[in-house]
Amino acid sequence: MPSPFRPAVLTLTGSAALAIGGAAALPQAAAAAATPRVVGGSAAPTPSWLAQVWVSDGLGGSSICGGQLVSSRWILTAAHCVRAELGGGQVAPSAVRVRIGEPVLSEPNSGSPGTGIDQVRINPANSSGSTNGDAALLHLAAPATQTPVAVGGAGSAPVGVPAVTLGWGVTQTGRVSATLQQVGQTVVDAGRCAFYGGDFLADSMICAGGVPGQDSCNGDSGGPLAVDATGPAATVIGTVDFGSDACGDGSPAVYQRLTEGATAAWLRSVLVRPAISAGTTTPVAGTSLPLTAATGWGDATFNWDLDNDGAFDDATGAAVRTVVPRAAQTVSVRASSVAEGDSAVERLAITPVDPALAITAPDAATEGRVVALTATSRAAAGTLTAKGSGGTGTKSASVAAGGTATLRFRVAQNSTWQAPRTVVFTLTTTGGLQPSARQVRVRVADDDTPRLTAVKTWATRAGGIVTARVPGRGRLRAYAVRNGRTLTSRTVTVKKVGAVTVRLALSPGQRRQRPQIRLTWTSSEVPGTTATASRRLP
C-alpha cells in the first residue's frame, strides 16, 4: 500500500532550513496519503516560460511552487500554492512574487525582487483542503517578455504519452535542488491512481509516472507536466498536484488535467486562447496546406513558427499556407493583443498521411466487356480520373481516406476481327493522391472470327493471281489444287491489315484445268488463329 499522499508545496523558513508542509492542508484522510518534487531526475535546460512561484507567509518564511507562463499576463500554478497556511484563504497578490525563465532557485529579495502580480484567481471549484479544481492563475502586473507555453488541447494527453515534469522540489537527497531538474512521467491509465480514493477525479486529473525512483515531490506543485518540455514545441498537458508521501516509491503521481475536463474548462473561460484550423485533416506531404488562426481579441495579430525552430518569424496574419512536411511536425502561432497587453501560443501537430493509391486492373479483357479499375487509398483522400484510349472514355471517382473506388469502362466492340490491341488508361488525381502507376494498360482480345475478304482470282499468261484482304499481320499461303493434288504454292509475309496479292506460276495446261485457288492466313499476333478462303481460277 503506498504511503499517504502529499501536497507538493515546500515551505522554506529563513534562508536554509526546510520544513516540508503545505501552504494549505489537504483533507486529513489525504494527509496520510499527498506530496509534489523531482526525484530521480536530471539537470534540465530552463524553458523561458517556466516560473518559480514564491509565496511569503508574512513571518519571514516563504513557500516555493512551480508555475508556467500560459499567456503574457498569466502564470498558471496550483490553487493550494496560493492559499494561506492558516485558514486556507486566498493569499494577497502582494505576498506572491514570481521568477520566469530563471534556471537557479532564488528567493526574491530587495536586491532581486522578481516579478509582482496584481491578481490571484483561484479556480472557483476548489476549496481549502480539496484536490478538486486545484488550479490558480496569477495575473502579472506587467506583461512578460518571454514567449508563453502552449496548453494542450482535447485528446493531447492519452495513455502512453511520454511527458516530463520540471521543478526545483525535493530530490532523492531530501533537499531542494538549486538547479532545475526534470524526470520522465508517462501518462498511465487512471485506474492506477484509484487508491487515492475520492481525491483522484479521473475526468479532470492525469495519472502519470509510477516508476520507482522517478517522481515529482514537495516544491514541484503547480509546475508542468509537459510534452517536448524543453523543445520548441513545448506543450503543457497538466500541472503537478499530489502524490505518494514517499516520493519515488513507485506510485504514480496526480496532475491537474489541462487538456479537457472541468479544470481545463475553467482555464479556458479565463484565458483568451488562439485556435488553429487546417484546410484538411488528411494533409499529404509536399502539398500546400492552408492554416487559419483565430482568437477572441478584436485587435489580434498573429506570428507563425512553421518550421518548429521556436522562432515566430515564418509568416504573419490570420491565414497562411505551409508545405506539408514529409514527417510529423508541429506548427505554432502566437496571437498578440496591444489593447490587452497579452499574448498566447497555440500549436498544431501536422501528421502527413500516406498518399499512396494502389491501382488494380485486369491484364486482359475481351471487346464489348467491362474493364474495372479499382483504386485503394492508404490514408489520403481525393479524386481519381482515368482517360481510356481508343474512344474508351473518361471517368472520375472520389476516393475516401483509407477507402476504395472503382471505375468501370466498356471496351468498344466492332463487327470484324482485329488483332489484340492495348487500351491505355491515363490517370490523374487531386488531393495529393499518388497512384502506384500513372498509366494502366489492358490487352483487349477480339471475340469475332477472322475472315479473308474481297478474294478475287484471275488468269495470266504466267499463271494466276489471287488477291484478298487479310485481317492482320502474319503469313498468307496461296496454292492451286486440282483433283486433290497441289499444282503450285506460294507464301508471303503480311505486315499489316489490308489487301495482299499473290502470284502463282502455272503452265498453260494447268491454267486450262481451272484449278481451285486456296488461301490460308496464319496470324503472327495470336498463335493458332487462322482464316481460309478459296476461289476457282477463271
Choice among 62, 71, 221, 251 that is catalytic: 221
**Quick check: 96 and 368 in contact, CB under 8 A?**
no
Q: Alpha-carbon Rg of the chain, whole angstroms? A: 41
* Grid cell 478584436 in the structure block, residue: 298
**Cα-Cα end-to-end distance for the chain:** 116
Sign of CA dihedral 429, 431, 434, 435: negative
204 is catalytic: no
Q: Residue 218 and residue 237: Cα distance in Å, rounded?
A: 20
Sign of CA dihedral 48, 49, 55, 56: positive
Q: Quote the cell numbers at residue 476.
A: 498468307
Q: Residue 252 and residue 37: Cα distance in Å, rounded?
A: 13
**Quick check: 431 and 351 in contact, CB under 8 A?**
no
Choice among 62, 80, 305, 446 that is catalytic: 80
Q: Residue 373 and residue 395: Cα distance in Å, rounded?
A: 10
221 is catalytic: yes
Kindly report the backbone phi and psi dihedral angles of residue 142, in degrees, each rounded to the nearest multiple of 5, phi listed first.
Answer: -140, 150
Which residue, 416, 421, 420, is CA-closest to 448? 416
Q: Residue 45 and residue 39: Cα distance in Å, rounded?
A: 17
Kindly report the backbone phi and psi dihedral angles of residue 22, in degrees, each rounded to the nearest multiple of 5, phi listed first.
Answer: -140, 150
Q: Residue 179 and residue 195: Cα distance in Å, rounded?
A: 33
Pairing status of strand 364-366 against strand 439-445: parallel
134 is catalytic: yes
* Grid cell 476549496 in the structure block, residue: 127
Residue 197's region, left for phi above 0, alpha for psi from -120 to 50, else beta, is left
Q: Quote the cell numbers at residue 159.
A: 495513455
Which residues are registered as beta bridge partners of 384? Answer: 397, 429
Pairing status of strand 421-429 against strand 404-410: unpaired
Choice among 63, 71, 72, 134 that is catalytic: 134
- By annotation, the residues acting in catalysis are 80, 134, 221
